[in-house]
Amino acid sequence: MNGAVFGDKFSKDYKAIMNYARITPAAIKENYIDIAGGNSSIDLTEAVGGVVFEDGTIEFMFTLIDFDKKESMKNDLHGKRMQIILEREENFYYDGRVTCTKDEWINGHYELYFTAKVKPYKYEKRETIHIEKVNNTEKEIRLVNSRMPIMPEIKVEGNLYLTYENIRYHLTDGAYQIPEVTLYEGLNRIKVSGIGTIQLTYRKGRLI
C-alpha cells in the first residue's frame, strides 16, 4: 500500500505504513417535496442550477513502531486543514480537515487512525491554461472541463470581446472572473474577437 502526503508532510517521513485509505464519496444534497394525496414527489435537487454535494471522507489507518514519530504524526496532522495527496493518485489532491480518531498500542506497534472530511471533488494538481492571440478575426476557443463547474481566471492584454452562452463581454487590460462565464462538464465554446491576447486558467475537479 502506498503512502499519503498531508500538506508538506509525507507519511513515510514518520516511517508509517499506510494500511488503507478508504474513500467515501460525497452524498448528493437531495431535495424532495411530497405531493399530498398523490404519487411520488417533486424533485428539486437541481433547482439551484445543478446537483450539489455534501463533503466526502477519507479514512486512514497507519502502523508505526517509533513512539516519537507516532506522536509527531498525530501532532502535525490532527485538527488541521490541508491538501491531501494519495500516492496512488499522484496527479490529484483532496482538500479537507484531518482528525485523529484513534491511537492504539497493539502487539508491539502503534496504530493511528485518521479521518479527513474533504470537499466533494478531487482537484488536478496541474492547472489548465489556454492562451489565444486575436487580431481582428473572431476565434472560437474550446475548453474541456471535468465534473466540477469552475469559473476560469481570465487575463487580457489589449481590447477584446468575449462571447459565452450568447452574452458578450468587453474586456480590456486586466484580470477577470465572471460568474456567468462558468465552465461545465464536457466541451465549452467561447468566442473572442478584437485585438490582443487572452489567457484562461482553471483547475479541473472530479467527484471523489
Q: What does the pLDDT look like over 81-135, one tens digit per residue?
A: 999 999 999 999 999 999 999 999 999 999 999 999 999 999 999 999 999 999 9
State the average pLDDT over residues 152-180. 97
In this prediction, residue 9 has a pLDDT band, given cuts at 50, 70 and 90, of: very high
Least confident of 5-19, 42-56, 66-80: 42-56
Q: What ranges do the domains of the chain cover?
A: 4-124, 128-207
Assess whether pLDDT exceeds 70 at residue 1.
no
Is 98:6 a contact under the CB 8 Å cutoff? Answer: yes
Q: How many angstroms separate the CA atoms of 116 and 18, rounded?
A: 14
Share of the chain above pLDDT 70, in %: 100
Q: What is the per-residue pLDDT for 32?
A: 87
Least confident of 46-50, 91-95, 110-114, 139-143: 46-50
Q: Per residue in 181-193, pLDDT tens?
A: 999 999 999 999 9
Q: How many angstroms separate the CA atoms of 2 and 21, rounded?
A: 9
In this prediction, residue 145 has a pLDDT band, given cuts at 50, 70 and 90, of: very high
Beta strands in 44-202 (DSSP E): 56-64, 81-86, 92-106, 109-118, 121-124, 128-135, 139-145, 153-164, 167-176, 186-202
Share of the chain above pLDDT 90, in %: 88
128-207 under CATH 3.40.50.300, yes or no: no
State the average pLDDT over residues 139-143. 98
Q: CA 51, 52, 58 angle in degrees (round to 5)?
A: 125
In this prediction, residue 205 has a pLDDT band, given cuts at 50, 70 and 90, of: very high
Q: How far is CA 24 from CA 21, 49, 57, 87, 88, in A?
A: 10, 25, 5, 18, 16
In this prediction, residue 35 has a pLDDT band, given cuts at 50, 70 and 90, of: confident
4-124 under CATH 2.40.30.200, yes or no: yes
Instruction: Report the mean per-residue pLDDT for the chain.
Output: 95
State the average pLDDT over residues 137-163. 97
DSSP letter at 72 equals H
Q: How many angstroms separate the CA atoms of 22 and 118, rounded?
A: 12
Q: What is the per-residue pLDDT for 78?
A: 98
Q: How many angstroms separate the CA atoms of 56 and 208, rounded?
A: 7
Is 11:3 a contact under the CB 8 Å cutoff? Answer: yes
